[in-house]
């Protein structure tokens, strides 16, 4: 806190809640602009849905979801044994309830006034000691461009406090049986605080893995699936995050870089398939818990489980974003970018605008692997003596297996190019027309009048969903919908992801030709 203003710029700014701070022009901030908005229940569901439309099998780790109020008519026609209703923007289990019949949805206060996500309820979770539990994993998004993701090797397992039964009309309301939130279960008389990381109502994830492994479970495959879930979820979030980023930190102007610790909440199904429940932009980093010593008298006491997991996450985050290390790494990365090899695919390294090499893709299990480059350096340098890193790099380490999913990122790059005035997040009608014209998408079958109608129709619908009224114009999700529409029109018989990929190639080709022409004219 700086009551009289900050005197000197800092290397690292650690904010409590969100990115906003207009006085930062250098250094690193521990929040990304727009992250809090992106991980809200509705926005996350929409972002994952877009990816499910393109790659249904790859994104089947997120429960089927309906966004209320818009999708209420679709939802009431659904048949599922049970659903879970979650108010948008809620946390810690607040306002969540289970229903068996879509018509049981509580319309009190009207769903218009409290938008929500309804999900298929995962009714066969993996149980330990007959109890349902979820996993909180800590993930460091170290950089958006280029994408760098780290996962903590250990996390927390948070247990329910009543033995689990599949939902029936009788037990539907028993939150201690169905909801794993610590903030709820702490109020159950059955909650067990334990000094041991292997027992009690909050344990380390590694202790669960040990137990599963001793029962013969394929723990390596489970980790591989979890890493894949985390990378794919972040790939779903990055397009919109980039729109927020360019709006708050315009390219070419002095500004900080960002990193962020995210909390991933994951439920394991009975068959060990991990399912994403939600992503937290501000995961609790408390290493104490409140204990009622005598009625009404509370005291904060250390929580060994939280301490074991969270201290390592914070320590490693600071080590990874260490400004001195960053300088050394940038120099090294710059050198590597120049190495050319015809056996490799290539893409543009955004930091130095040269071609970066990526080995040809081949299937391999994903693991949180052996010591990273950073650790080796640490053992010689100023970090000698510190424990080895608990945060393991998974991206770009596994980039070659996931880059094909990053189609919407490329659509977002087109969107950002046509946004025009820096600082905006929505595309105006002129920007959309310029996009169509420059990418040569208008022809005798698709007139500019039809382009305007497409723009108005889609923009009006997205704006009526009441997402963000601060700015007028077309948001990224609306642009993505329009782009998919154009792709389906142009490449009729292909699967959607191929249609979209073909249209992106087509647009990028025409824009590159235009840039080339402008360069030649400029030189002339």
Tokens of 393: 């790099």
String marking each residue 120-139 x if it binds ligand ADP according to CB under 6 A? -xx-----------x-----
* Contact assessment for residue 258 and residue 245, using Cβ atoms and an 8 Å cutoff: yes
For ligand ADP, the closer of residues 265 and 409 by Cβ is 265
String marking each residue 485-514 x if it binds ligand ADP according to CB under 6 A? ------------------------------
- The residues, any chain, with a CB within 8 Å of residue 301's CB and separated by 6 or more, are 193, 288, 289, 290, 291
CB of 202 to ligand ADP, least distance (A): 13
Q: Which of 243, 277, 391, 486 binds ligand ADP (CB under 6 A)?
A: 277
For ligand ADP, the closer of residues 179 and 475 by Cβ is 179
| 91 lies in the site for ligand ADP, by CB under 6 A | yes
Tokens of 347: 């893409």
| Interface segment toward ligand ADP; rule CB under 6 A; list 31-39, 82-90, 147-155, 389-397 | 82-90
CA atoms of 292 and 181, how far apart (whole Å): 19
> 278 by DSSP, 3-state: which?
strand
Footprint of ligand ADP on 252-271 (CB under 6 A): 265, 267
Q: What is the DSSP string of 173-202?
A: T-HHHH---HHHHTTSTT----SSTTSSSE
CB of 304 to ligand ADP, least distance (A): 22
361-382 burial, b at 16+ Cβ within 10 Å, e below that, comes to: eeeeebebeeebebbebbeeee
CB of 190 to ligand ADP, least distance (A): 16
DSSP label at residue 58: T
Q: Which of 33, 34, 63, 256 binds ligand ADP (CB under 6 A)?
A: 63
* Contact assessment for residue 375 and residue 391, using Cβ atoms and an 8 Å cutoff: no
| Interface segment toward ligand ADP; rule CB under 6 A; list 68-76, 90-98, 143-151, 413-421 | 90-98
Please give the size of the binding site for ligand ADP, defined by CB under 6 A. Answer: 20
| 86 lies in the site for ligand ADP, by CB under 6 A | yes
**Span between the terminal Cα atoms of the chain, in Å:** 54
| Interface segment toward ligand ADP; rule CB under 6 A; list 103-111, 116-124, 210-218, 317-325 | 116-124
Handedness of CA 381, 383, 389, 391 (dihedral sign): negative
* Contact assessment for residue 26 and residue 254, using Cβ atoms and an 8 Å cutoff: yes
CA atoms of 263 and 284, how far apart (whole Å): 8
Q: Which of 51, 84, 249, 487 binds ligand ADP (CB under 6 A)?
A: 84
* Contact assessment for residue 139 and residue 148, using Cβ atoms and an 8 Å cutoff: no
For ligand ADP, the closer of residues 184 and 511 by Cβ is 184
| 278 lies in the site for ligand ADP, by CB under 6 A | yes
| Interface segment toward ligand ADP; rule CB under 6 A; list 68-76, 88-96, 198-206, 339-347 | 88-96
| 90 lies in the site for ligand ADP, by CB under 6 A | yes
Helix (H) or strand (E) holding 150, with range, is strand 148-152
CA atoms of 120 and 99, how far apart (whole Å): 10
Handedness of CA 417, 408, 467, 89 (dihedral sign): negative
CB of 181 to ligand ADP, least distance (A): 5
Q: Which of 44, 96, 439, 507 binds ligand ADP (CB under 6 A)?
A: 96
CA atoms of 223 and 280, how far apart (whole Å): 20
* Contact assessment for residue 229 and residue 262, using Cβ atoms and an 8 Å cutoff: no
Q: Which of 45, 50, 181, 393 binds ligand ADP (CB under 6 A)?
A: 181
Q: Which of 21, 94, 336, 364 binds ligand ADP (CB under 6 A)?
A: 94
Residues that bind ligand ADP (CB under 6 A): 63, 84, 86, 90-94, 96, 119, 121-122, 134, 179-181, 265, 267, 277-278
């Amino acid at each position: 806190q700086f009551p009289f203003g900050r005197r000197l710029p800092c290397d690292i700014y650690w904010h409590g809640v969100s990115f906003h701070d207009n006085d930062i022009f250098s250094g690193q901030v521990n929040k990304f602009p727009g992250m809090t908005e992106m991980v809200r229940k509705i926005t996350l569901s929409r972002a994952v849905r877009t990816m499910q439309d393109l790659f249904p099998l790859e994104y089947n780790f997120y429960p089927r979801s309906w966004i209320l109020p818009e999708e209420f008519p679709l939802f009431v026609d659904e048949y599922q044994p049970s659903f879970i209703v979650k108010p948008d923007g809620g946390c810690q289990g607040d306002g969540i309830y289970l229903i068996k019949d879509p018509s049981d949805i509580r319309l009190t206060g009207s769903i218009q006034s409290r938008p929500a996500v309804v999900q298929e309820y995962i009714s066969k979770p993996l149980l330990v000691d007959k109890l349902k539990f979820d996993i909180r994993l800590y993930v460091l998004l170290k950089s958006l461009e280029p994408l760098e993701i780290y996962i903590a090797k250990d996390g927390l397992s948070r247990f329910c406090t009543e033995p689990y039964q599949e939902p029936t009309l009788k037990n539907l309301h028993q939150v201690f049986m169905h909801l794993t939130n610590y903030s709820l279960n702490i109020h159950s008389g059955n909650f067990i605080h334990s000094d041991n990381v292997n027992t009690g109502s909050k344990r380390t994830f590694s202790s669960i893995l040990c137990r599963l492994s001793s029962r013969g479970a394929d723990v390596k495959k489970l980790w591989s699936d979890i890493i894949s879930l985390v990378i794919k979820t972040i790939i779903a979030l990055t397009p919109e995050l980039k729109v927020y980023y360019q709006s708050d930190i315009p390219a070419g102007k002095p500004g900080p870089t960002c990193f962020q610790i995210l909390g991933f909440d994951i439920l394991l199904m009975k068959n060990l398939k991990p399912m994403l429940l939600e992503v937290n932009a501000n995961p609790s980093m408390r290493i104490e818990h409140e204990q009622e010593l005598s009625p009404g008298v509370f005291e904060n006491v250390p929580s060994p489980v939280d301490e074991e997991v969270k201290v390592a996450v914070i320590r490693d985050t600071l080590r990874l974003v260490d400004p001195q290390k960053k300088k050394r790494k940038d120099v090294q990365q710059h050198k590597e970018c120049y190495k050319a090899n015809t056996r490799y695919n290539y893409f543009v390294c955004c930091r130095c605008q040269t071609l970066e090499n990526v080995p040809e893709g081949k299937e391999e299990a994903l693991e949180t692997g052996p010591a990273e480059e950073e650790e080796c350096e640490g053992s010689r340098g100023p970090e000698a003596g510190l424990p080895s890193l608990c945060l393991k790099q998974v991206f770009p380490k596994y980039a070659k297996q996931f880059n094909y999913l990053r189609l919407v990122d490329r659509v977002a790059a087109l969107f950002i190019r046509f946004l025009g005035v820096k600082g905006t997040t929505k595309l105006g009608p002129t920007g959309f027309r310029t996009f169509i014209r420059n990418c040569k998408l208008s022809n005798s079958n698709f007139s500019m009048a039809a382009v305007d109608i497409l723009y108005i129709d889609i923009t009006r619908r997205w704006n009526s969903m009441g997402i963000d009224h601060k700015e007028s114009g077309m948001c990224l999700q609306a642009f993505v919908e329009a782009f998919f529409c154009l792709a389906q029109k142009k490449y009729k018989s292909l699967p959607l992801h191929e249609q979209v990929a073909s249209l992106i190639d087509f647009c990028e080709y025409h824009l590159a030709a235009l840039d080339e022409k402008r360069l030649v004219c400029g030189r002339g």
